[in-house]
């Protein structure tokens, strides 16, 4: 839904870049208000939503329609919530920072978790948490 098109739009390492034709992304805060102010790094940061339906919009989840409705369509009024955080630069390019509802070891992860902080570096294009078992006897 947000991706560079080879040979048409310029790519940028670690960035999803531009939305595909017909996709209208929007960044919102936790209350569902559109992000209109840049942060201290000159980026617009927020929760990634889609304004209007598109041909492949999910309509239900097999066996659990209510969960599909509450997860994607009820979080923010009149928006499809992707579940991801993102930021956008002045050129309109998007960078996905990851799930905003991830929980690791009982703590909710957000845009300040260590993998996401690594993504702020221009040389890092992918980072994630991995559970490591520490067997202490």
Residues 61-82 pLDDT 10s: 888 889 888 888 888 999 999 9
Which domain covers residue 79, as residue numbers? 1-137
What is the pLDDT at residue 113? Answer: 55
Global pTM reads: 0.73
Confidence of residue 122 (pLDDT cuts 50, 70, 90): low
Q: CATH code at 113?
A: 2.30.38.10
DSSP the chain: -B---TTTS---TT--BSBPTT--EEEE-TTSPBP-S--TTS-EEEEEEESS--TT-----TT-HHHHIIIIISSSTT-EEEEEEEEE-TTS-EEEEEESS-EETTEE--TTSHHHHHHTSTT--------------
What is the pLDDT at residue 44? Answer: 96
Residue 133: pLDDT over 70: no
Count of the separate structural domains present in the chain = 1
89-113 tens-digit pLDDT: 999 999 998 888 765 555 555 555 5
């Amino acid at each position: 839904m947000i991706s560079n098109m080879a040979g048409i739009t310029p790519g940028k390492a670690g960035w999803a870049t531009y939305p595909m034709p017909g996709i209208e992304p929007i960044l919102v805060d936790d209350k569902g208000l559109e992000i209109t102010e840049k942060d201290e790094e000159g980026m617009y940061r927020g929760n990634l939503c889609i304004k209007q339906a598109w041909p492949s919009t999910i309509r239900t989840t097999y066996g659990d329609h209510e969960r599909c409705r509450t997860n994607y369509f009820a979080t923010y009024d009149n928006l499809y919530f992707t579940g991801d955080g993102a930021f956008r630069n002045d050129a309109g390019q998007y960078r996905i920072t990851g799930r905003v509802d991830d929980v690791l070891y009982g703590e909710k992860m957000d845009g300040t978790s260590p993998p996401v902080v690594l993504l702020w570096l221009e040389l890092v294009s992918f980072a994630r948490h991995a559970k490591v078992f520490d067997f202490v006897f």
